C-alpha cells in the first residue's frame, strides 16, 4: 500500500521531475465539474463567470474533488478565455453554443484595440483563488495553475467561439501571416504574464492547454504555432516550476509538439502510452492517458483493466502521471472516479 506519511515534496511534483515515487500520482483534467453534485449545487446559484470571479467560490470548487478522492493535485478552477476577456473582448457563455467572444479579431484595427493586461489588476481574482487554495490544500497535494496555449485561445478569438473546422483561423494563417503572428505574439506575452503571476501567487506547476491543436497539419503547427508555444514554455520554465504541455488529436505529430518544450507532455487516448513516451523522449515525464468515455459507462472492471494496461505500458519508469486523455465528462459517476484513483495508487505501489 502507498505510504501514509506526507512526503517532503508532493508525489505529483516528484513525478514531474522524473523522480521515483511510492506510487504513480493521479489527477484528472476537469476533475472539478458537473459530474459532482456539490459542484452542481454551487452552479445553481452562480454563473460560470461569477464562479471564476469570486475567489472563495473558485477555491471551493477547486478543492471539492480532493475532499472526495485521494487525488495528488488540484487544478485551479478558471477558464482559458479569461485572458482574451482581460484583453478587451466580451465573453459570454451561450446555452447550446458555448463561449462566445466579441468582436472576433480579424483585422489589424481589431488587434490594435486589444490591451496587454496586467494580471494583478484584470485577473486578480484568479490570483486570490490561488492563494486561498494553497492555504487550504492538504500536505502532500500540489496546486496546478493553467492557461490556454496561444493557438487554442487565438482560434477562439478569431472564430468568435468554437469551430468545427477553424476555417477563419487557417485563412488568417495562410492569407495574412503577419496579422496572425502579431496576434500570437500579443497573446503569448499576455499568457506569460498571467502564468508568472499564478506561480508568484502559489501555483506549484502549470499546464498549457492546446485543446484544438489536433485541427492542424504537422507543417502548420511547426510554422504557425510551435514558436509561440515554445516562447511561453521557455519563459515560464525559468520560474522553476514544472510545466505541462497538453494537446489533443496530435498523436501524428506528438514528437513535433513535444519539441515546444515542457517538463511533462500530455498524451491523449489515441496513442498507446509507451509509444507516446518514445515520441516525446524518455528524458521527459509523461501524463495520460485513459479514454474519459470509459469512466461513463460499462463495468468498473473494464475501466480498471484499461488503467492497468496503461500502468504496464509505463513500465514503472519514474515520470508517469496518470490522467485521462482529456477531461472528465459530465455523465461520469463519482464512484467510478474513486475506484480509478484508488486502483492507480494501489496497483502502482505493488
Residues annotated as catalytic are 30, 34, 43, 79, 156
- From first CA to last CA, the distance across the chain in angstroms is 7
| Residue 165, φ and ψ in degrees, nearest 5 | -135, -5
> What is the torsional sign of CA 268, 2, 204, 240?
negative
Cell 452542481 belongs to which residue? Answer: 40
Rounded distance between C-alpha atoms, residue 114 and residue 88, angstroms: 6
**What residues contact residue 232 under an 8 Å CB cut-off, 6+ apart?**
147, 149, 150, 188, 191, 192, 195, 208
Distance CA(72)–CA(192), nearest Å, equals 26
* Strand, helix or coil for residue 97: coil
The Cα 10–Cα 121 span in angstroms is: 31
Pick from 186, 58, 50, 190: which is nearest to 127 by CA?
A: 58
Written as nine digits, the cell of 134 is 494553497
d(CA 186, CA 112): 10
**How far is residue 337's CA from residue 312's CA, in Å, rounded to a whole number?**
20
**What are the respective helix, strand and coil percentages of the chain, to the nearest 5?**
50, 15, 35
Q: 261: alpha, beta or left, given left = phi > 0 and alpha = psi -120 to 50? A: left
Amino acid at each position: 500500500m502507498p505510504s501514509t506519511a506526507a512526503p517532503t515534496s508532493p508525489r505529483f511534483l516528484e513525478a514531474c521531475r522524473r523522480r521515483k515515487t511510492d506510487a504513480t500520482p493521479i489527477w484528472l483534467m476537469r476533475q472539478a465539474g458537473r459530474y459532482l453534485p456539490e459542484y452542481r449545487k454551487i452552479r445553481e446559484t452562480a454563473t460560470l463567470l461569477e464562479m471564476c470571479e469570486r475567489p472563495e467560490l473558485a477555491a471551493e470548487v477547486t478543492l471539492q474533488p480532493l475532499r472526495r478522492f485521494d487525488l495528488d493535485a488540484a487544478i485551479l478552477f478558471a477558464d482559458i478565455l479569461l485572458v482574451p476577456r482581460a484583453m478587451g473582448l466580451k465573453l459570454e457563455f451561450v446555452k447550446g453554443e458555448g463561449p462566445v467572444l466579441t468582436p472576433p479579431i480579424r483585422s489589424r484595427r481589431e488587434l490594435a484595440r486589444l490591451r496587454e493586461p496586467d494580471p494583478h489588476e484584470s485577473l486578480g481574482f484568479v490570483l486570490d483563488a490561488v492563494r486561498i487554495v494553497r492555504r487550504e490544500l492538504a500536505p502532500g497535494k500540489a496546486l496546478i495553475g493553467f492557461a490556454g496555449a496561444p493557438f487554442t485561445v487565438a482560434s477562439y478569438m478569431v472564430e468568435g467561439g468554437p469551430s468545427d473546422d477553424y476555417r477563419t483561423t487557417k485563412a488568417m494563417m495562410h492569407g495574412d501571416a503577419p496579422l496572425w503572428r502579431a496576434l500570437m505574439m500579443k497573446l503569448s506575452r499576455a499568457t506569460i504574464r498571467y502564468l508568472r503571476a499564478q506561480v508568484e501567487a502559489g501555483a506549484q506547476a502549470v499546464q498549457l492547454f492546446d485543446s484544438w491543436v489536433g485541427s492542424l497539419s504537422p507543417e502548420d503547427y511547426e510554422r504557425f504555432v510551435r514558436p509561440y508555444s515554445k516562447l511561453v514554455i521557455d519563459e515560464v520554465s525559468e520560474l522553476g516550476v514544472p510545466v505541462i504541455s497538453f494537446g489533443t488529436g496530435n498523436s501524428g505529430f506528438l514528437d513535433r509538439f513535444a519539441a515546444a518544450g515542457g517538463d511533462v507532455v500530455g498524451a491523449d487516448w489515441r496513442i498507446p502510452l509507451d509509444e507516446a513516451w518514445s515520441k516525446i523522449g524518455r528524458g521527459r515525464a509523461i501524463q495520460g492517458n485513459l479514454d474519459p468515455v470509459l469512466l461513463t459507462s460499462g463495468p468498473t472492471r473494464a475501466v480498471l483493466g484499461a488503467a492497468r494496461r496503461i500502468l504496464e505500458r509505463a513500465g514503472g519508469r519514474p515520470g508517469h502521471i496518470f490522467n485521462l486523455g482529456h477531461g472528465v465528462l459530465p455523465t461520469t459517476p463519482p464512484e467510478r472516479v474513486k475506484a480509478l484513483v484508488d486502483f492507480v495508487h494501489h496497483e502502482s505501489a505493488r
